[in-house]
Amino acid sequence: MSQLPLQRCLAFLDLSPSERATLDAMAGPPTPLPKRAVIRAEGDAVDTIFFLLEGWVTSSLSLPNGDRQIVKLHLPGDMLGTPSMVLAQAAETLTAITPVRLCRMSLSDYGQLFVRAPRLAAVLFLCAQQERITLMDRITSLSRTSAAQRLAALLLHIDERLRLGEPGRAPMLDLPLTQEQIGDMTGLTAVHVNRTFRELELMGLITRRGRQVGLADLERLRQFAALPPRVWVRDPSWLPAHGAEPVPAVAAA
């Protein structure tokens, strides 16, 4: 029994024991993978999705000219690879940037969730919508703000994500990311990421020691980054009740 970490889903709703058990029963055994391992590459067949238990994973797209864009940073508790469910060939390359542990789940099992646990399915739907909001915010950040603002937004985003799993943590990030990878996330070159870190430091917004980054002034940082605050709904009233008896669809007209 794997006891999947489901922070992301649970943020919307407390799942019932039976819902959790349904999920757990479908998940494969936890598998460790080393740093740099490619979990699934662009173009690969899509027959499973993944649950990340430990470690950090990037989801990236690559261009014909060799450039790479990291579109999403996955932290423990995330489901990985779900966007590619709509494609025969995966759109994204999932790469471990630290040693990781993850579980697989087959698409056929996943599909059964919609029948066996409708309320859980609705929460998974919400998770997908939440990712859309995040991507929309990132688009806005990328195309409308300066390098320094984009970097600030990234740091704040990571801090917020980590805080989900560790509420009382200090505003200090221990990034396992190279400046090149940070550039791939923010749409900058590694060289300019370096200059931009210095700039944020000079502005007094962050402190640095190696790859440790301290968020020195969260409030000013937030204002500077121009990130809209997103408050996720909790336990929305319109969700179907947990044990809800399935209702037959109405007859065709």
Partner DNA sequence: CGCTGTGTTGACAGGTCTCAATATAAGTGG
Partner DNA sequence: CCACTTATATTGAGACCTGTCAACACAGCG
Any contact of residue 115 with a second copy (CB under 8 A)? yes
Q: Which one, 29 or 210, has the nearer CB to a second copy?
A: 29
Shortest spacing between CB 115 and a second copy, in angstroms: 4
Which residue lies nearer to a second copy by CB, 21 or 203? 21
Token pair listed for 34: 């080393």
* Cα-based distances in Å from 177 to 150, 193, 210: 16, 12, 11
CB 136 within 8 A of CB 130: no
Closest CA to 81 of 103, 59, 109: 59
- Tell me if 146 contacts a second copy by CB under 8 A: no
Which CB atom, from 110 or from 197, has the smaller least distance to a second copy? 110
Q: For the window 194-233, what string marks contact with a second copy as x by the rule CB under 8 A?
A: --------------------------------x-x-xxxx
Angle of helix 218-225 relative to helix 147-165, nearest 10 degrees, comes to 130
Alpha carbon of 133 to those of 107, 127, 139: distances in Å? 24, 10, 10
Residue 95, classed as helix, strand or coil, is strand
Segment contacting DNA by CB under 7 A, of 41-49, 78-86, 145-153, 230-238: 145-153
> Using CB under 8 A, which residues numbered 234 to 253 contact a second copy?
236-240, 244-253
Residue matched to tokens 């990034």: 175
Which CB sits closer to DNA, 80 or 200?
200
How big is the site for DNA, counted in residues (CB under 7 A)? 19
Return the residues of window 170-199 that contact DNA according to CB under 7 A.
178-180, 187-192, 194-195, 197-198
Asked if residue 38 binds DNA (CB under 7 A), the reply is: no
Nearer to a second copy, 93 or 173 (CB): 93
Q: Which one of a second copy, DNA, none is in contact with 170 (Cβ closer than 5 to 8 A by kind)? A: none
Q: How far is CA 167 from the centre of its chain?
A: 17
Question: 102, 77 in Cβ contact below 8 A?
Answer: no
Please report where in the chains the tokens 């740099």 appear, as a residue.
36
What does 190 interact with, of a second copy, DNA, none (CB < 5 to 8 A by kind)? DNA
Sign of torsion over alpha carbons 149, 151, 153, 155: negative
On whether the CB atoms of residues 193 and 179 are closer than 8 A, the answer is yes
Tell me which residues touch DNA (CB under 7 A). Answer: 146-148, 178-180, 187-192, 194-195, 197-198, 208, 210-211
